[in-house]
Amino acid sequence: MSRLRKDKEALLFAASTLLLVLGGVAWLLSDATLASVLWIVGTVLGLVFSAVTTVRAVMRREPTVDVIAVLALAGALAVNEPFAGAMITVMLASGQLLEARAAARARRELSLLVERAPRTARRRIEGAVVEVPVDDVVLGDRLLVGTGEIVPVDGRLLSTATLDESALTGEPLPVERLAGDDVRSGVVNSGPPIDFFATAIAAESTYAGVVRLVEQAQASSAPFVRAADRFAVLFVPFTLVLAGATWALSADPVRAVAVLVVATPCPLLLAAPIAIMSGLSRAASVGVVIKGGGALERLAGGRVMLFDKTGTLTLGHPVLSDVVTASDLMDADEVLRLAASLDQVSAHVLASAIVTGATRRGFVLEMPEEVEEVHGYGLQGIVGDHRVKLGKASWIVGDVAPPWVRQVHRRADLDGSLAVFVAVDDEPAGVFLLEDAIRPDAPRMVRALRMAGITRVVLVTGDRADIANMVGRIVGVDTVLADCDPAEKLTAIERESEHGATIMVGDGINDAPALAAASVGAALASRGATASSQAADVVLTVDRVDALADAILIARRSKEIALQAVLVGMGLSLIAMVAAAFGLLPPAVGAVVQEAIDVLAIGIAMRAVLPGKIHTIAMPAADIALAVRLRAEHDAVLPVIEQIRSVADALSTHDCDLDPVSTLLDRLEGELLPHERADEELLVPLVGRALGGTDATVAMSRTHAEIEQQVSKLRRLLRGLDDETVQPEDVVEFRRLLYGLYAVLRLHNAQEEEDAFSLVPGGAANAPAD
């Protein structure tokens, strides 16, 4: 039906333009009779078209402004102004065609998402590969995706993959994902064939949720557009009254026809919705689906931003933050490698964090054997020559916890971390600390929101106060509201609405009521559709919260452009109508002027589909590749940094053994310092290029110098003790220097995450450090 409508519009435009041009040629050849006949045919064609649309609107009991066109065309015939009538017909046809083409362009990004929805999947069954409908995929299916194929459902990768995520994120460059990482439906496999386990059925996967959201966005119109429609209907009696008054006062029907000819509500009926739809399209291109024009307008008017913590300001899933060993019998790297090898076959939510932590460090994992899940306790199996157990402390170390376990529990409680204990060959080997890390781009996002016009930022969460306050301080919110249940979140939204229109951002089921209650609800759905996505007005399909600031800028720009198109177009139309009423514009000239006004208004509106100012930083492909390489080196030295704390913890004033310090110093000088020097040489200039200046890199360079200085102090202190007896106070000094270096490095890593790696688009290098 839409194809037939588009062909009809194109045929009408072609026929009316041809009749107008042929009439003009005949007139230039002094054949006025033939010119008049051709123009009259064009006028009749337009009269029939507008009469049919008017009758259909009346039958549907819908108000219409086409009655103005009917009267103008009939009047042109009555007063013998066939050129004006033919010109009006071309205007009607071109307006319809421009509307269809502009709306189609504005919906392009949205429509592409719908059209690419996966239809089938390839399932591995007993060594064979069988193609099945995507709706037949169940949880736990092992699926194969070939090169260039679309991932059909959400899942967990069994191997490293190179993925094109542009359909969801808008980022054109492929992204590397590691074994154990989550993969979303709708992305394209850009590398060799990959296998993954399905973790969601098709209807609950990311792409299906995005398609539903797109359909909602296309189905609704904005309050501004609906107001424009109502004003356009009021424009009809105004035009008729003005035309009638002109005829009555001047006794000249030609003037009345001229008023009807130049009367155009096109800026209201076409320009406003085109600008709003263009805004929806631009937002979709940066990974933000806005559910219709009404949501876009409310987003443009938002002034108070409220965030849930988990999954919005934090990553929403556990990541490995530290590995603590139980003794010196096995180092942290080997403990992590064995545990990750066992966990790679586990579907537990914590398993992915341990596996990802190992693969990011470049460890080669073995396939475990005799794997057994002990319900309520953990997982055990054979990895190589070792029996490995992962789980609760009581299962690993027994009911009487040794001092190191109590120390780990205390540290986990202070940091808000989870502790997963590991035993190797039935001996406690260590513990993994997992945390829900703050998003590296969250502080920049809050700053961008303030630049976009948000005047107040509030963190409202059900988490405990100490953790919430820590997150709030780091990201830079104005107020922290902790220990809130869903009902208290609703109260907070009502209270904050006194400061201005509210925007609530969340990603969990418990956020759905708050998202629905706020002026605008925004949900993060990058890991799949949830109840929050259904309740929200705005859905982020990218795993970058700074895209929300871009969406606000796009919404405000689109609304401003819609208003500009209406004011300019209707203003010029009213001026032309008054000029026609005073006899300054004859119908023929008025028809040309009216066409120019319509084209101008639509042209202004279509500016909204062009890129405007956004906060997301565009980086050249070479810089992105460099950042990815430096990030890999960054991850590779993380075990060295954690070894600093382990060595400092183990130092004792009783035996004064400094051999671990000497071994550590060799690694610091051989691994850590070369990496920091490479960062100073390559990463610092990269950040300067991305941010347009060196001011943002001053602190990073200062920290690089401080790290060099601290390592140099350790080496000088150790060298000075080579030929003398080590005293307890020397051990204390070593411990002081090591703890200081560890603190500087942890702060420096967080600094690089926020200032450097979070700039890289599409998640290529901004996954959090473990």
Burial tier of 654 (Cβ tally within 10 Å: 0-12, 13-18, 19+): exposed
What local confidence, expressed as pLDDT, does residue 269 receive? 64
- 659-704: pLDDT as tens digits: 888 888 998 999 899 999 988 888 888 888 877 776 767 888 888 8
Report helix angle 587-606 to 272-285, nearest 10. Answer: 20
Q: What is the mean pLDDT of residues 133-138?
A: 88
Residue 379: beta bridge partners?
Answer: 373, 390
Strand locations in 272-401, DSSP E? Answer: 288-290, 304-307, 319-325, 369-374, 378-383, 386-391
Model pTM score: 0.67
What local confidence, expressed as pLDDT, does residue 13 receive? 80
pLDDT(106) > 50 = no
- Whether the CB-CB separation of 69 and 55 falls below 8 Å is answered with no
Q: What is the mean pLDDT of residues 39-46?
A: 84
Instruction: Tell me whether residue 308 is one of the annotated catalytic residues.
Output: yes
What local confidence, expressed as pLDDT, does residue 535 receive? 63
Q: Is 504 helix (H, G, I), strand (E, B) or coil?
A: strand
What local confidence, expressed as pLDDT, does residue 1 receive? 42
715 CA to centre of own chain: 47
- 595-605: pLDDT as tens digits: 788 888 888 88
Q: What is the mean pLDDT of residues 131-156?
A: 88
- 328-362: pLDDT as tens digits: 778 888 899 999 999 888 877 688 889 888 888 87
- 616-662: pLDDT as tens digits: 666 777 888 888 888 888 888 888 888 888 888 878 777 777 888 88
pLDDT(483) > 80 = yes
Answer with the residue of higher pLDDT: 588 or 171: 588
Note the residue count of the chain: 770
pLDDT-above-70 percentage for the chain: 84
pLDDT-above-90 percentage for the chain: 8
pLDDT(85) > 50 = yes
pLDDT(219) > 60 = no
For the chain, give the mean pLDDT. 80
User: How many Å apart are CA 239 and CA 231, to the nearest integer?
Assistant: 12
pLDDT(207) > 80 = no
Q: What is the mean pLDDT of residues 37-52?
A: 83
- What the block records as the tokens of 235 is 């424009």
- Whether the CB-CB separation of 119 and 230 falls below 8 Å is answered with no
- 362-379: pLDDT as tens digits: 788 888 888 888 877 888
pLDDT(756) > 90 = no
| pLDDT band at residue 172 under the 50/70/90 scheme | very low
Q: What is the mean pLDDT of residues 730-756?
A: 87
pLDDT(94) > 80 = no
What local confidence, expressed as pLDDT, does residue 766 receive? 47
Strands 386-391 and 418-424, how do they pair? antiparallel
What local confidence, expressed as pLDDT, does residue 221 receive? 44
Strands 194-198 and 142-145, how do they pair? antiparallel
What local confidence, expressed as pLDDT, does residue 422 receive? 92
Answer with the residue of higher pLDDT: 114 or 273: 273
Q: What is the mean pLDDT of residues 180-200?
A: 85
Report helix angle 253-262 to 547-581, nearest 10. Answer: 170
- 560-593: pLDDT as tens digits: 888 888 888 888 888 988 898 888 888 888 878 8
pLDDT(767) > 70 = no
| pLDDT band at residue 770 under the 50/70/90 scheme | very low
pLDDT(109) > 50 = no
User: How many Å apart are CA 663 and CA 661, to the nearest integer?
Assistant: 5
Q: Transcribe 233-252 into DSSP letters.
A: HHHHHHHHHHHHHHHHHH--
Of the candidates 181, 182, 308, 436, the residue annotated as catalytic is: 308
Of 577, 588, 581, 600, the residue nearest 86 (C-alpha): 588
Report helix angle 82-106 to 253-262, nearest 10. Answer: 10
| pLDDT band at residue 529 under the 50/70/90 scheme | very low
What local confidence, expressed as pLDDT, does residue 113 receive? 55
- 247-259: pLDDT as tens digits: 888 888 888 888 8
Answer with the residue of higher pLDDT: 744 or 523: 744
What local confidence, expressed as pLDDT, does residue 171 receive? 52
Query: CA distances (Å), 334 to each of 256, 331, 340, 365, in order?
Result: 91, 6, 10, 11
Answer with the residue of higher pLDDT: 554 or 727: 554
